[in-house]
Chain A
Amino acid sequence: MELFDTATVLTRVLTSGVVMSIEKSDRELPGLERLLTKKTRRSKAVLLNSRTGAIHAALAGQGIGHGDSVALAEPDAETAAFLAWLGVTVTSYDGPVAYDYIALDPANADRLGELVAGATAPALVVDLSGLGFGPAAAVLTDDPRLWARAERLKIFGAYDLRTMWTQEEADADLVPGVQFNYRLSPLVAACVRMALTQAAQTQAAQTQAAQHRPAATSGATQS
């Protein structure tokens, strides 16, 4: 993202006066959630403040916890260490995986839809840290229970901290265990959303230009 664009986004959010993730009037986090669900064609999004927070949420969302084992594509050393810290054992590197994973950066952000096209796991972890605004990630899913569990892991909520939940509202089957604050800042969310939007616009412009470009041979002939 250009410095000017980042400046514009940061100024817009700051002048709104809403920089807190549990503020009812925050529009930035829901905005990024909508964009990610649209791009990935998943119905639910959980925004988190780190890649490891998202991995944790993807697993906890499926009820996978300490002492359990999962199938995963062979994790890198850092991820393997984190899974060990969670107490989760990777037992096979083939078969249906617990989560699919992609990391976005400025070079591939325009291809989010394409990158996730083959993802089939119940949870999709998208690492947004590479876009340059600090640790940020998301879990995308079509499973409402996975989403609910991941939200509870993230915000100390048996229901929803944005409304200062009461436990009466909790689904009795969704017992909260350990809870973290994995919440993402609305300021960071706004910048990430702008980066993803611009990447998509760039891709669209390139596609349009390619469609209207004269055949390469005609130029060569004229020269």
Chain B
Amino acid sequence: MITDFPNSPLPLPNPADLDDELAALGGGEIIPKALRRTLFPVITKEDVFNLMLAQRQAPEKVVADFAEAYRAYVGAGYALPTASGTSSLHMALVGAGVRPGDEVIVPAFTFIATAQAVVAAHAIPVFVDVDPVTYCMDPAAAAAAITERTRALMPVHVHGLPADVPALRALADRHGIALVEDASHAHSAKIGDRVAGSFGDAAGQSLMADKNFPLGGEGGIAFFAEEESYERAVAYLSEHGIDYGMSWVAAAFGSSQLKRLPYYDEIRARNAALLGEALHETGLFTPPHVPDGHVHAYNMYRITLHPEAVGLDDLPVYAVKEAAHELLVAEGVPAREWQNTPIPCHLPFQHRDGFGNGYPFSLNPGAVRDHRPQDFPVTLGMLDSTLVLCRELRSPVEYERILRYADAFRKVARRPDAIRKLVEERDYVRPYEKAARLG
């Protein structure tokens, strides 16, 4: 199989490379251009073989077997396989009892699908800011947004770190509302021994091919704690004639990948730990915070910059970030922003046309807000001061490559003079002042 291993393995890093000039200034690159490509997902001969075998089974059985195997892995009560993460979130909301015109509290920092799934359920997303350390929904902000029409809290285990479920669960119970997880980044993420997707009354999860646990292209799954919720979701699909069915082709690939998921989790955790140690040494960069008892799934790895640690605190943090970003990319590290504007400031939530003629926003005008980026200062601060790695920690990212990523961060952090020079030369603007981006 050509996809088992990179075509061009990287050699181990050379310590002398760290003393070289920055690549952006004419020096050697930590990862040369020809060796930068990372492959994902891993596709093995076993995956091919398992798809061949799946052809000989009834399609419904292939999908049902996949859903049951993954439900058991997650430890949820009931599972409904779907065609996408968005449809799984829609079904999770419906199963949890969300009805047209209800308010659902969602974080301002997430993928747009979280909020669009609320609209799909004919409900109104109410956006709140995130916690400054975890970047997940802030329970205090959520508490402040609850009204008589709030039906659910919908935290996102963003980038793979479980949200503050104990606090949110207590908040939901206090108000008699549902807790619905968006676990789309959080395959195998845990609090204690429990796996994301099993924490709430319901959960939705994307299984598209760029997730830690990929299906053959597109897919999703909704989980439910109670049978009644599961039945409500199934009945909703039938009543409204909606086809959210999962293809057996995608399911067969998922069944095959599920067998190797724990192994890939370990590789990702190893890579994250290795990179984290290197970042702590730099002063300029720190890795994601992981609260005690939480297991981060690292679908993405958000790195925070601390200009004060290298004498750059007189510069705007967003400008230091932009300059460091430029220098890292030149070294061969594919760092990115992944979002630059709070989701409520994206066009669909500014215009609020919904399904047409303003529906479902028209059902509950009192819940609708005209948001500005400044309404979410914690999210803005995070966007100003952080960079993201995505596939760069996932298997099949090899040991040599993660060592080189670490070296690239070390090399850039050693050169605050180069960062300062770039900031002086460029005309950097805050992330939200650029066109809104999803990725």
* Chain A residues proximal to chain B, CB less than 8 Å: 3, 6-7, 10-11, 14-15, 17, 19-23, 49-53, 60, 63-68, 77-82, 84-87, 129, 132-136, 156, 158, 161, 164-170, 175-188, 191
**In contact, B356 and A187 (Cβ under 8 angstroms):** no
**In contact, A185 and B359 (Cβ under 8 angstroms):** no
**In contact, A166 and B437 (Cβ under 8 angstroms):** yes
A65 → chain B, closest Cβ, in Å? Answer: 2
**In contact, A156 and B243 (Cβ under 8 angstroms):** no
CA distance A132 to B3 in the complex (A): 27
A167 → chain B, closest Cβ, in Å? Answer: 5
Stretch at the interface among B45-53, B264-272, B306-314: B45-53
CA distance A42 to B54 in the complex (A): 35
**In contact, A85 and B240 (Cβ under 8 angstroms):** yes
Q: Which B9-68 residues have a C-beta within 8 angstroms of A?
A: 39, 41, 43, 47-48, 51-52, 55-56, 59
Take A11-B48, A19-B214 as given contacts and tell me if A50 and B348 are in contact as well, using a CB distance cutoff of 8 Å.
no
Take A134-B249, A177-B351, A181-B86 as given contacts and tell me if A17 and B113 are in contact as well, using a CB distance cutoff of 8 Å.
no
**In contact, B240 and A185 (Cβ under 8 angstroms):** no
Q: Which residue of B is nearest A29, CB measured?
A: B217
Please list the 4 inter-chain residue pairs (A to B) with the smallest Cβ-Cβ separation, ordered nearest first: A65-B356, A185-B217, A134-B247, A81-B241
Known: A50-B243, A166-B435, A188-B250. 18 other contacts (CB 8 A): A14-B3, A19-B41, A19-B43, A20-B209, A49-B218, A67-B357, A133-B249, A135-B243, A164-B438, A176-B353, A178-B120, A179-B113, A179-B348, A180-B116, A181-B85, A186-B217, A188-B249, A191-B249
**In contact, B86 and A136 (Cβ under 8 angstroms):** no
Take A49-B83, A177-B348 as given contacts and tell me if A21 and B218 are in contact as well, using a CB distance cutoff of 8 Å.
yes
Chain B residues, Cβ within 8 Å of A191: 249
B323 sits at the interface (CB 8 A)? no
CA distance A166 to B401 in the complex (A): 30
Of the candidates B84, B241, B356, the one whose C-beta lies within 8 Å of that of A80 is B241
CA distance A178 to B336 in the complex (A): 27
Chain A residues, Cβ within 8 Å of B209: 19-21, 23, 185
B244 sits at the interface (CB 8 A)? yes
Take A15-B1, A183-B218 as given contacts and tell me if A66 and B243 are in contact as well, using a CB distance cutoff of 8 Å.
no
Chain B residues, Cβ within 8 Å of A51: 243
A105 → chain B, closest Cβ, in Å? Answer: 14
B276 sits at the interface (CB 8 A)? no
Take A10-B48, A181-B87 as given contacts and tell me if A187 and B355 are in contact as well, using a CB distance cutoff of 8 Å.
no
B416 sits at the interface (CB 8 A)? no
**In contact, A188 and B247 (Cβ under 8 angstroms):** yes
Of the candidates A10, A66, A80, the one whose C-beta lies within 8 Å of that of B354 is A66
* Chain B residues proximal to chain A, CB less than 8 Å: 1-3, 39, 41, 43, 47-48, 51-52, 55-56, 59, 83-87, 112-113, 116, 119-120, 208-210, 214-219, 239-250, 253, 346-348, 351, 353-357, 359, 434-439
Chain B residues, Cβ within 8 Å of A156: 112-113, 116, 438
Of the candidates A52, A65, A68, the one whose C-beta lies within 8 Å of that of B242 is A52
Chain A residues, Cβ within 8 Å of B353: 65, 175-178
CA distance A175 to B346 in the complex (A): 11
Chain A residues, Cβ within 8 Å of B239: 81
A188 → chain B, closest Cβ, in Å? Answer: 5
**In contact, A7 and B55 (Cβ under 8 angstroms):** yes
- Between A and B, 8 residue pairs with Cβ closer than 8 Å are A10-B249, A23-B209, A52-B241, A164-B438, A178-B353, A180-B120, A185-B216, A191-B249
A15 → chain B, closest Cβ, in Å? Answer: 6
B439 → chain A, closest Cβ, in Å? Answer: 4
CA distance A166 to B48 in the complex (A): 36
A5 → chain B, closest Cβ, in Å? Answer: 10
Of the candidates B41, B43, B59, B119, the one whose C-beta lies within 8 Å of that of A134 is B59
Q: Which residue of A is nearest B215, CB measured?
A: A185
Q: Which residue of B is nearest A137, CB measured?
A: B243
CA distance A196 to B87 in the complex (A): 28
B228 → chain A, closest Cβ, in Å? Answer: 22
Chain B residues, Cβ within 8 Å of A63: 356
CA distance A78 to B237 in the complex (A): 10
Q: Which residue of B is nearest A1, CB measured?
A: B55
**In contact, A66 and B359 (Cβ under 8 angstroms):** yes
B369 → chain A, closest Cβ, in Å? Answer: 18
Q: Which residue of B is nearest A185, CB measured?
A: B217
B55 → chain A, closest Cβ, in Å? Answer: 5
Of the candidates B41, B83, B219, B348, the one whose C-beta lies within 8 Å of that of A178 is B348
Chain A residues, Cβ within 8 Å of B52: 7, 10-11
Chain A residues, Cβ within 8 Å of B85: 181
Chain A residues, Cβ within 8 Å of B119: 178
Chain A residues, Cβ within 8 Å of B247: 49, 133-136, 185, 187-188
Chain A residues, Cβ within 8 Å of B435: 166-169
Take A167-B347, A179-B112, A180-B116 as given contacts and tell me if A10 and B217 are in contact as well, using a CB distance cutoff of 8 Å.
no
Chain A residues, Cβ within 8 Å of B250: 134, 185, 187-188
